[in-house]
Structure 1
Amino acid sequence: MFKNLFKQHGAKNVVTLFHKPSNSASTRVLTVLKQANAQSAAHSTEDQASSHQTQEKLERLEFDLDVTETPPTGDQLKNILEYLGGSSAASKVIRGAQNESDALRLLKADGESFVRPLVVDWNQGKAVTGDNESEILSLLRSIPKEIKKA
């Protein structure tokens, strides 16, 4: 559903961080995403005479950051589980969940069962659970160049 929502010519990639400010891992991920976004924006306006290789590498990090403290909707959760490999990923996203239907039930019963931080690139259909900085940066670097040109 959300996979193609933002795939319009000239649109930036939208990356959502499901965030919990009291969680130190979530705060670290927010910092990483903000720094990557700021660094990309700064380098994308550099003079064309600068190193194209460095500039191109940093440009790929450009995205619109959406930070939310609310858990995902049921439809978003279904997409996130799909991005992470299906029903078997349910326990990575919802504490105590065995499969997708269990995850949906637990999410409705208690939004606090949702595990944060979780970074989702809706355009590419990819997600990263936890605060693994290299996985998050890898996800951002894989943003197709043509999607983010505004």
Structure 2
Amino acid sequence: MSFRLPKFPMITIFHNPSLKTSTEALSLLQKTSRRYNFEIDLIQSNKQPPTHQQVANIVEYLGNGSIDEGLAQVLVPEVEKKPSTVAEVQEILDRNPKYLRKPLLVDWNRGKALIADPPKRVFEMVKGAYEERLNSRRSELSSRPLRRLKKLLRNRKKLKKNSTRSKKGYKEMFPEKKDPQQWIHATKKRLDEKKQLINELELELNWYRLVHSGIGIGVESEEAETMKNLLKVKS
């Protein structure tokens, strides 16, 4: 059985390279994408507007379900006539795509969007997406990552030792088996799965490090400190 977490959802950024705020937001998003292994959909053209369906979704996502709140955020303040409907927003952007407010971040999978102004709001999007990704697999991780991590750190060394046993030692331990290579292959496969889970727990640790990198969007927990100490153990 594989313990692999679902793929981190892609985050779209509607970007204006001439805006300092947008450039800083993109830089932060790129840094976190490398750490947490998610993809960025970069849209920086002011000539091609979002599709009508995308506009409707963005308005809804910006307002967290409230169309009125979304309408108040989706366009730049320079627009003379404030839209009262999604259709009016679509008409405005069809005529002039640069009126879309940027930097705009959208997570289509989660139905979330925000204006990354100030740029550190990027971490609100990353935090929400990452926590949802972890929570979706809590049951598979038995909701006890520390206990599982301790067990895996013990088993990893044992599995490595078992996978390198000699053919003679193998026959002594498992006289009923006929194919030691097949057993070794299966053992290595299980070991790879265990390593994958450890890597995923290390990603969770990276989130705690991100929280405490001066951004001020979270609090260090006792669990995080214990996991850090465990991962320092050499096997």
Q: TM-score of the superposition, structure 2-length normalised?
A: 0.46
Structure 2 residue 114 is the aligned partner of structure 1 residue 128: yes
**What are the residue-to-residue correspondences of 1:1-150 with 2, within 5 Å?**
10-40=6-36, 62-70=37-45, 71-85=49-63, 86-88=66-68, 89-95=70-76, 96=79, 97-99=82-84, 100-143=86-129, 144-145=132-133
Query: CA RMSD, aligned part only?
Result: 2.3
Distance in 1, matches of 2:106 and 2:26, equals 13
Percent of aligned positions with the same letter in both sequences?
28
Distance in 2, matches of 1:84 and 1:145, equals 21
How far is the alpha carbon of 1:39 from its aligned partner? 2.5
Q: Secondary structure at the match of 1:35?
A: helix
Paired letter, 1:87: I
Q: Which moved more, 1:95-104 or 1:26-35?
A: 95-104
| Cα pair 1:20 1:117 within 8 Å, conserved | yes
Distance in 2, matches of 1:87 and 1:110, equals 21
How far is the alpha carbon of 1:134 from its aligned partner? 4.1
Distance in 2, matches of 1:81 and 1:18, equals 14
1:40-65: CA deviation from partner (whole Å, max 9, x where unpaired): 3xxxxxxxxxxxxxxxxxxxxx4211
Is there any run of 5+ residues in structure 2 with no aligned partner, and where? 138-199, 201-235
Q: Secondary structure at the match of 1:142?
A: helix
Instruction: Report the count of equivalent residues.
Output: 120
| Cα pair 2:21 2:119 within 8 Å, conserved | no
Q: Which has the higher helix share?
A: 2
Distance in 1, matches of 2:6 and 2:118, equals 29
| Cα pair 1:19 1:26 within 8 Å, conserved | yes
Is there any run of 5+ residues in structure 1 with no aligned partner, and where? 1-8, 41-61
Q: TM-score of the superposition, structure 1-length normalised?
A: 0.70
Distance in 2, matches of 1:38 and 1:14, equals 13
How far is the alpha carbon of 1:129 from its aligned partner? 0.8
**More RCO (CA 8 Å, sep 6+):** 1
